[in-house]
A and B are shown apart, each in its own frame.
Chain A
Amino acid sequence: MISLIKEKVADKKGWMTEEEINDIIVIAESTPGPIAINLATYCGYKIKGVFGSVLATLGVVLPSLIIIFSISLFFDKFIQNKVVAAIFMGIKCAVVYLITTAGIRMFRKMKKTWYSVTATILIILIMAVLSIFSKSFSTIYFILIGGFLGLIIFGFLAKKEPKK
């Protein structure tokens, strides 16, 4: 997706330079939400202001919306078919495999510090314990707590890095 956007926006249309796009990708990776949406919004704004950003975002959302909505109309009936159900039993295996390996891959890519390793393991343990005792605690709170700890540990306590 990203390479597709790069090709279209930088090479074909010449709307932005490749460097600009790389900058946006860094921003997109540090802000919430799908990277494709972030890129569309940013590129749209750079080219035609707020109106452009609305249209670009709409443009990237619409195909998904149409495709998935069409599928959702008949999916409930579709899945009742024995063959389809069997195929989806297999696909479910793929999905859990993909989620787990994506998590592990992210962990391996992450810069290992005492904080990052402890926090990852601690979260897995806490979630496991909560699940065993059927207690719920919103995952959003965990993310917020992580952000708060990061702000204190890396923002306020850590020594200021010399400016480049």
Chain B
Amino acid sequence: MIYLVLFWEFFKIGLFSFGGGYAMIPIIKEVCINHNWISEDMLLNYIGISESTPGPIAINMATFVGSSQGGILGAIIATLGVVLPSFIIILIIAIALKNFIKNRYVQATLKGMRPVVVGLIIFTGLSLLLSVIKVYPVKEEISYLSIIIIAILFVLSFIYKKIRKKNIPTILIILLSGCLGLLFLI
């Protein structure tokens, strides 16, 4: 039953995405690939859209993947699944355990998880990067244009940060790369 699977998988994603929006990407990638829901390529498209529309990326991704697997009901169920863990945990904290987060053992556990999450994000980023420039595991011709676009984004973000003293807005990166993508038509 697809709805149950969607709910359960996104519940797990919601439960284990510690540390902001990007923390869920390694898990969602694994889930989508293991279930053969969407290809890595499509996943990147979805993330691109989720990044450029309002709302938390986790919610956007859940809706997107849910919709692709089970239409409107799938979208609602996957979104519900990803929201429910946070909702329940925060509600419990708000009602009864205000000092729960300050607890020494909770903090110790979180401290242990943090570097793992960071490592997983870096790994996922790098592995997707290799697959976008078609080096690994796709054995096709290397996409030099992709390498050039990534290099341009890198340099521009660097310059932006030097001048404006803050990180370049995500939406600017996406718009820019979309325009640069038109070079693929040539």
Which single member of B54, B91, B94 contacts A64 (CB below 8 Å)?
B54
A90-B182, A120-B119, A138-B30 known; A34 vs B58 contact (CB < 8 Å): yes
Cα–Cα, bound, A138→B9 (Å): 12
Find out whether the CB atom of B184 lies under 8 angstroms from the CB atom of A67: no
Give Cα A64 to B149, complex, Å: 29
Chain B positions 76-122 with a Cβ under 8 Å from a chain A Cβ: 76, 79, 82-83, 85-87, 89-91, 93-95, 101, 104-122
Smallest distance from the beta carbon of B148 to chain A beta carbons, Å? 9
Q: Judging by beta carbons under 8 Å apart, are A93 and B94 in contact?
A: no
Q: Is the CB of B48 within 8 A of A34?
A: no
B6 within 8 A of A: no
**A67-B55, A92-B132 known; A97+B111 contact, CB < 8 A:** no
Residues of chain A from 74 to 101 with CB closer than 8 A to chain B in the complex: 75, 79, 82-83, 85-101
Of B123, B127, B153, which is within 8 A of A93 by CB? B153
Q: In chain B, what residue has the closest Cβ to A127?
A: B123
Q: Which of B12, B109, B122, B183 contacts A100 (CB 8 A)?
A: B122
B7 within 8 A of A: no
Q: Is the interface of A mostly helix, strand, loop or mixed?
A: helix
- Given A45-B91, A90-B184: A136 and B34 interface contact (C-beta under 8 Å): yes
Known A-B contacts A100-B122, A116-B115; A92 and B45 likewise in contact (beta carbons under 8 Å): yes
Bits for B1-41, please: 1 = Cβ < 8 Å to A, else 0.
Answer: 00000000000101111111110011100100010000001
Complex Cα spacing A138 to B184, Å: 36
How far does the alpha carbon of A57 sit from the alpha carbon of B82 in the complex, in Å? 12
Residue in B105, B123, B128, B178 whose Cβ sees the most chain A Cβ within 10 Å: B123
Q: Find out whether the CB atom of A98 lies under 8 angstroms from the CB atom of B170.
A: yes
Residue of A nearest to B147 (CB): A93
- A162 in contact (CB, < 8 A): no
Q: B153, A123: Cβ atoms under 8 Å?
A: no
Q: Which residues of chain B are near A102, meaning CB under 8 Å?
A: 22, 121, 125
Contact indicator A64/B49 (Cβ below 8 Å)? no
In the complex formed, the residue of B with least CB distance to A112 is: B115
B 128-186 contacts with A by CB, 8 A: 128-129, 132, 137, 145-146, 149-150, 153-154, 157, 167, 170, 173-174, 176-185
**Are B122 and A75 in contact, CB atoms less than 8 angstroms apart?**
no
A34 contact from B56, B170, B174, Cβ within 8 A: B56
The 10 listed contacts between A and B (C-beta, < 8 Å) are A50-B91, A90-B179, A99-B47, A101-B125, A116-B115, A124-B123, A138-B30, A148-B112, A151-B109, A155-B108
B-to-A contact residues, CB < 8 Å: 12, 14-22, 25-27, 30, 34, 41, 44-45, 47-51, 53-60, 63-64, 67-68, 72, 75-76, 79, 82-83, 85-87, 89-91, 93-95, 101, 104-129, 132, 137, 145-146, 149-150, 153-154, 157, 167, 170, 173-174, 176-185
Residues in A lying within 8 Å of B, measured CB to CB: 1, 26-38, 41-42, 45-46, 50, 53, 57, 60-61, 63-65, 67-69, 71-73, 75, 79, 82-83, 85-107, 110, 115-117, 119-124, 127-128, 131, 136, 138-140, 142-143, 145-151, 153-156, 158, 160
Closest 8 CB pairs of A and B: A150-B112, A90-B181, A33-B86, A123-B119, A64-B55, A100-B125, A146-B116, A155-B108
